[in-house]
Amino acid sequence: MFDAPVDAWYLWVGVAVASTVAFGVATTLPRAPPPDAASVADTVDSVAASDRPATAVHPLSADAIRVGSYRIWLRDDGETGHATVTYGPVTPVRRGTALWDVLRGAPPETAFGDTAALRRAAANAENRTPEWRTTDELTVRTISWEGVDVTLVG
């Protein structure tokens, strides 16, 4: 009367398999949420939407960032978060360029000979394939020079 039924071992095997599967799923889940790219995109949008030239700096806690004309990606511990920039296109800026000097505060007329040179440099930067870069902060600056309006992000 108190003996285990004959098919009880099937039950134990099934519970063991189900437990192993549940453990495997639990260990493959991400340990942290992806980086918050939306807050970075909000900073870019707030500067880009300004009706006057503006500058903002956003600290980053991610390992790497990739900036495109309409999208921003953040990567941290293998997780990637992304967000769309509403007020694009923005101009991704690389170090060591004339656009970098303008992003850092130089007047555009000292970095470029004329507005056509600024327009060409911005178009080339916007059409470049985005690359991952490491940095602690993101700087955003809008400039307006003789009818050329550009939002620099670097």
**Of 30, 32, 31, 48, the residue nearest 138 (C-alpha):** 48
Whole-angstrom distance, CA of residue 112 vs CA of residue 114 = 6
Q: Mind listing the pLDDT tens digit for each residue in 61-92?
A: 899 999 999 999 999 887 899 999 999 899 99
Is-contact 58 138, C-beta < 8 A? Answer: yes
Q: Where are the domains positioned within the chain?
A: 37-153
> What is the structure's pLDDT at 6?
55
pTM (global) more than 0.75: yes
pLDDT: which is higher, 2 or 10 = 10
